[in-house]
Amino acid sequence: MSHPRVAHVGIAVTDLDAATEAYRALLGHPEHDRETVEEQGVEVVHFEAGDAMLELLQPTRPDSPVGRFLQKRGEGIHHVAVWVDDLRAELARLGALGVTLIDKVPRVGAGGHLVAFVHPRSTRGVLVELTEKRKDPAP
Amino acid sequence: MSHPRVAHVGIAVTDLDAATEAYRALLGHPEHDRETVEEQGVEVVHFEAGDAMLELLQPTRPDSPVGRFLQKRGEGIHHVAVWVDDLRAELARLGALGVTLIDKVPRVGAGGHLVAFVHPRSTRGVLVELTEKRKDPAP
pLDDT digits (tens, 9 = 90+) for A102-133: 999 999 888 889 999 999 999 999 999 999 99
User: Across the interface, do A2 and B94 touch by the CB < 8 Å criterion?
Assistant: no
Three-class DSSP category at B79: strand
pTM to 2 decimals? 0.94
pLDDT digits (tens, 9 = 90+) for A49-78: 999 999 999 999 999 999 999 999 999 999
Q: Given a cut of 60, is residue B138 above it in pLDDT?
A: no
Q: Given a cut of 60, is residue B15 above it in pLDDT?
A: yes
Residue type, B114: L
pLDDT band with cut points at 50, 70 and 90 for residue B3: confident
**Interface membership of A29 toward B (CB under 8 Å):** yes
Q: How far apart are CA B24 and CA A77, in angstroms?
A: 22
Q: Which of A25, A73, A120 sits opposite B97 (nearest CB)?
A: A25
Residues of B in contact with A52 (CB under 8 A): 5-6, 50-52
Domains of chain B in sequence order: 5-132 (3.10.180.10)
Contact partners, residue B109, CB within 8 Å, separation at least 6: B37, B39, B40, B115, B129, B131
Q: How far apart are CA B51 and CA B4, in angstroms?
A: 13
**Interface membership of B54 toward A (CB under 8 Å):** yes
User: Across the interface, do A118 and B54 touch by the CB < 8 Å criterion?
Assistant: no
| A and B: number of Cβ contacts within 8 A | 136
Q: Which of A28, A118, A122 sits opposite B1 (nearest CB)?
A: A28
Residue A139's pLDDT is what?
Answer: 53
Q: How far apart are CA B104 and CA B96, in angstroms?
A: 12
Q: What percent of chain B lies above the pLDDT cut of 90?
A: 87
Residue B135's pLDDT is what?
Answer: 82
Q: Which DSSP string corresponds to chain A?
A: ----EEEEEEEE-S-HHHHHHHHHHHHSS--SEEEEEGGGTEEEEEEEETBEEEEEEEESSTTSHHHHHHHHH-SEEEEEEEE-S-HHHHHHHHHHTT--BS-SS-EE-GGG-EEEEE-GGGTTT--EEEEE--SSPP-
Considering chain A, what is the average pLDDT of its residues? 94
Q: How far apart are CA A102 and CA A100, in angstroms?
A: 7
pLDDT digits (tens, 9 = 90+) for B73-104: 999 999 999 999 999 999 999 999 999 999 99
Total count of residues recorded for chain A: 139
